[in-house]
């Protein structure tokens, strides 16, 4: 998705919000540099996540902050863990067995498989509510993590299940810090239902906004995810997966994966034009530009199989 005028305004507002969040009151020199970068980018036909690379790199250089969102990301993981634990009590998986013993199930019928996968995907999408980029003023206290009233404008769960049945490798493109706690629910379900599926969980190559990096996964509450997947530093510097920007290892895994699950709106912006039957996009619609592109109301959830998905 090529950046539109609203995308440039959004990136500029993100920097203003970040300055306020970090209590940087004398920010004229920062915003002037950002304006110059944005003006230059307007003639380059870039995707919003690509433009964000230079925008946030300029901010880092101006403030000498390597990872401005580090503390916020750590707190997001802590907050997300509490929310997920509450959700597991109020909206447990669709089995009579205790959720802690679900890995011991060896014979899950087709209906149960569908129900469990559906439940886990819905749990995972709730994590995409977390966002300090497009939403500017995210707050856990006012965020809506309502599992029971989730609304999907598009939901290709059947195609996803069919693809998984014949897959040996899955590449999961992660998004925001804190969201990994929700992703762990889906990863666990995938390994339970498809024990021979090898899952790679790809994070950003360096800090940008509140996107997840390997360093963030050193958080004590984040380390359990490694039971269900192989962690992968993608090398990608943008808040969305840009194939050309990823490292050689990630490109090889991407090329050979049987199924690719890309989480978050930034990954949608970078990948939605790919006519790739392996690719599924799972995200919340958070801005008017993406809403218009998808033909879906802002605030609703999307699970798109790219081969059958919305042509934008």
* Residue 109 vs residues 106, 113, 160, 177, 248: alpha-carbon distances, Å: 10, 6, 17, 34, 39
pLDDT value of residue 100: 46
Degrees (nearest 5) of the Cα angle 10, 12, 18? Answer: 100
pLDDT at position 136: 57
Place of tokens 């507002």: 13
pLDDT digits (tens, 9 = 90+) for 182-233: 999 999 999 999 999 999 999 999 999 999 999 999 999 999 999 999 999 9
Which pLDDT belongs to residue 6?
92
For β-strands 279-284 and 301-305, DSSP reports them as antiparallel
Tell me, what's the pLDDT at 1?
Answer: 86
Report yes or no on whether pTM surpasses 0.85: yes
Looking at residue 310, what is its pLDDT? 47
Closest CA to 53 of 179, 261, 234, 204: 204
* The pLDDT of residue 144: 80
Cα(37)–Cα(56) distance, rounded to whole angstroms?
10
Q: How far apart are CA 130 and CA 124, in angstroms?
A: 11
Strand (E) or helix (H) holding 173: strand 169-173
> Which stretches of the chain score pLDDT less than 70?
95-108, 133-137, 308-312
Q: What is the pLDDT of residue 217?
A: 97
CATH architecture of the domain with range 69-95+109-305 = 3-Layer(aba) Sandwich (3.40)
Beta partners for residue 193, in sequence order = none
Provide the pairing of β-strand 259-263 with 169-173: parallel
Domain segments of the chain as ranges: 5-63, 69-95+109-305
């Amino acid at each position: 998705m090529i950046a539109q005028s609203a995308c440039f305004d959004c990136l500029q507002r993100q920097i203003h919000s970040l300055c306020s969040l970090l209590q940087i009151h004398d920010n004229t020199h920062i915003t002037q540099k950002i304006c110059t970068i944005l003006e230059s980018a307007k003639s380059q036909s870039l995707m919003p996540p690509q433009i964000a690379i230079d925008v946030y790199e300029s901010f880092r250089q101006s403030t000498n902050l390597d990872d401005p969102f580090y503390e916020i990301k750590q707190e997001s993981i802590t907050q997300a863990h509490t929310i997920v634990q509450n959700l597991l009590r109020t909206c447990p998986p669709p089995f009579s067995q205790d959720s802690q013993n679900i890995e011991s199930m060896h014979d899950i019928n087709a209906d149960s498989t569908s129900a469990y996968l559906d439940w886990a995907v819905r749990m995972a999408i709730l994590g995409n509510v977390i966002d300090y980029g497009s939403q500017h003023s995210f707050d856990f206290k006012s965020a809506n993590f309502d599992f029971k009233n989730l609304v999907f404008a598009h939901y290709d769960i059947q195609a996803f299940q069919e693809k998984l049945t014949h897959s040996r490798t899955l590449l999961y493109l992660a998004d925001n810090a804190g969201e990994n706690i929700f992703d762990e629910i889906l990863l666990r379900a995938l390994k339970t239902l498809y024990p021979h599926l090898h899952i790679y969980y790809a994070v950003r190559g360096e800090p940008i906004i509140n996107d997840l990096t390997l360093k963030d996964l050193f958080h004590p509450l984040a380390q359990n995810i490694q039971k269900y997947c192989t962690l992968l530093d993608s090398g990608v510097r943008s808040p969305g997966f840009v194939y050309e920007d990823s490292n050689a290892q990630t490109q090889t895994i991407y090329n050979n994966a049987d199924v690719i699950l890309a989480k978050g709106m930034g990954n949608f912006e970078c990948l939605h034009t790919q006519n790739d039957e392996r690719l599924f996009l799972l995200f919340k619609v958070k801005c008017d530009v993406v809403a218009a592109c998808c033909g879906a109301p802002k605030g609703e959830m999307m699970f798109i199989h790219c081969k059958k998905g919305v042509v934008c």
